[in-house]
A = this chain, B = another copy of it.
Amino acid sequence: MESQKNISPAVIKRLPRYYRYLGELLNHNIQKISSRELSLRMNVTASQIRQDLNCFGGFGQQGYGYNVEYLYHCIRRILGLDKSLCAILVGIGHLGQALANNSLFEKCGVRLIGLFDIADNLVGTAVGGETVRHFDTVGDFCAENRVDIAVLTVPRTETQAVAERLVRCGVFGFWNFANTELSLPDDPVKIENVHMRDSLMQLCYRLTNEGEILT
């Protein structure tokens, strides 16, 4: 099984969901599952699951189904969670602090190796076991450490400039929490946006247009 190029974004989007469901099955000590059972739990058709996994070479045995643990580890590897990617977090406000204290990096096999801000009252303090560094020193830090991902929780107006500076430091992965799109070269930069505001707005839409709320 080799990782492949040109996998559609829709498939990539489903992979973490497969990983999550398989992890839950493992927690319940379930060792094998048919694509039909998996499809019922995931609300995706069985043929969709087979198709998705075939993109990576396929893992099922006809009439047996999937070995949960094997498939879980394969998807972990496909997702690159076994690569020990290294991340820094820039912007140690409320959200930055919440992320620095969150287990999600560990769960994704990502090592959070540096925290950066520019505020005097934050630089030098410890957050989630790491000391906050001044962003002015990020160039030296990136020269001395491999940094694969920058998590951006800086104010929206600063995000573009911070990202451009990091690209010059050789950082190409951005996990962007600012409510704005970054304008950076597609190659080699990879950006994943978390648009929390868009998500809340969709809920507002569904509640007021499809729901019971009449105001």
Which A residues are closer than 8 A to B by beta carbons? 3-5, 7, 12-13, 15-17, 19-20, 24, 78-81, 83-85, 93-95, 97-98, 101-102, 104-105, 107-110, 148-149, 172-175, 179-180, 188, 190-192, 194-213, 215
Contacts and interface: CB of A to CB of B under 8 A. Distances in A.
Q: Which 4 A-B pairs have the closest CB atoms?
A: A80-B208, A16-B198, A98-B98, A192-B203
A193 to B, nearest CB: 8
Number of copies of chain A assembled together: 2
Contacts of A201: 15-16, 19, 79, 81, 108
Contacts of A207: 80, 85, 148-149, 172-173, 190
Contacts of A194: 194, 196, 199
A190 B215 contact: no
A17 B198 contact: yes
Contact of A204 (B83, B95, B206): B83
Among A4, A85, A110, A205, the most chain B Cβ lie within 10 Å of the Cβ of A205
A86 to B, nearest CB: 10
A83 B20 contact: no
A179 B12 contact: no
A190 to B, nearest CB: 4
Given A5-B210, A16-B197, A110-B200, 7 more contacts: A3-B209, A81-B201, A95-B102, A104-B197, A108-B201, A149-B203, A190-B210
27 contacts: A3-B209, A5-B210, A7-B209, A12-B205, A15-B205, A20-B180, A20-B198, A24-B180, A78-B205, A80-B209, A84-B215, A85-B204, A94-B98, A98-B98, A104-B196, A110-B200, A148-B213, A149-B203, A149-B207, A173-B207, A174-B203, A190-B203, A190-B211, A192-B200, A192-B206, A194-B194, A194-B196
